Amino acid sequence: MASIFISGEIPAVGYDLLSGHELTVYKGETLITEEELLEGTREADALLCPLSTKVTRKVIESASNLKVIANFGAGYDNIDIAAAKEKGIPVTNTPDVSTEATAELALGLMLGLMRRIPEGDQLSRTTGFNGWAPLFFLGRELTNKNLGIVGFGKIGQAVAKRAIAFGMNIYYTGRGKKEAVLEERLDATFMEFDELIKTCDVISVHTAYNEDTHHMFTKDVFTRMKKDAFFLNLARGPVVKEADLVKALEEEDIAGAALDVYEFEPQITEGLKKLTNVVLTPHIGNATVETRDEMAKLAAKNILSVLEKKAPLTPV
């Protein structure tokens, strides 16, 4: 029987799969602190952690028995991968299972932003309106708009698939051009980044986060976008320099923005909260019952595989 520390509550299916082992679950109302994580992992054989848990070098080096770190999330920038590698501790994540849910939210945010749904809901609940009028509460249609997808991996492709149903024209940018069969299937056209931001009506970001994509979107980029363009970020918060985004919105360099992730998460830049042409959601890209269950299963199976001295299923 192994000792497994879980640094945040997860769906019950994950506990069920790990039930043959000794489980300790952090159930605090706030995110776990480094001190609490140090204590929890001190004798643990495995750590299962939500991506909001910061697994630092100090934590990794102090955990003398740790055999595997299973991240509950597709990303893993919350873990000091170099420190884990030095100690020979495999790190796993939960890729792919969140693709559909995140793509669905992207289209939801797109519709909410361009058709002003949150604004309309707020108006209807407060002052109300005087009735239908030809110029009242105008938004923008998705039909015939150019959608620029930054990062054309599985999530970006899933967004494209759904956007086609709304009659959008699909363009993408990333590390390189995809194979012709994929482009043909999704009716997608590759563009270099500089061309894409100047051409597209909607920019939806789904790129991986690393030192190359840190602050990919700054005031300089926003000023080169179309004045009536809409911007969405469902990747990682630091891809965007939020102070610059606020300025771009205030100065009407772009028409609006929708964010599910934040540069200083969980804090949200105050300027964003004051703008009516911004839709904000609390990092819920894959927050569906179905997806979170699958993430819990995969994280648990990765731990079990390593504890059984087998290769992890989804190592990073």
Show which residues are catalytic: 236, 265, 283
Asked if 223 contacts 248 with a C-beta cutoff of 8 angstroms, the reply is yes
237/90 Cα distance (integer angstroms): 26
**Tokens in use for 49?**
């952690």
Q: Cis before residue 315, ω within 30 degrees of 0? A: no
**Which tokens in the block code for residue 61?**
């080096």
* Burial environment of residue 115 by CB neighbours within 10 A (0 to 12, 13 to 18, 19 or more): middle
Residue 193 makes CB contacts below 8 A (sequence gap 6+) with 150, 173
H/E element, 202:
strand 202-205
CA dihedral 267, 271, 274, 276 (to 10 degrees): -100
- In angstroms, the CA 245 to CA 219 distance is 7
Structure tokens at 216: 């990919």
Tokens for 233?
A: 């970020």
CA–CA separation, 67 and 303 (whole Å): 9
What DSSP string describes 37-92? Answer: HHHHHSS-SEEEEETTS-B-HHHHHH-TT--EEEEESS--TTB-HHHHHHTT--EE
In the chain, the amino acid numbered 71 is N
Residues 296, 14: contact at Cβ < 8 Å? yes
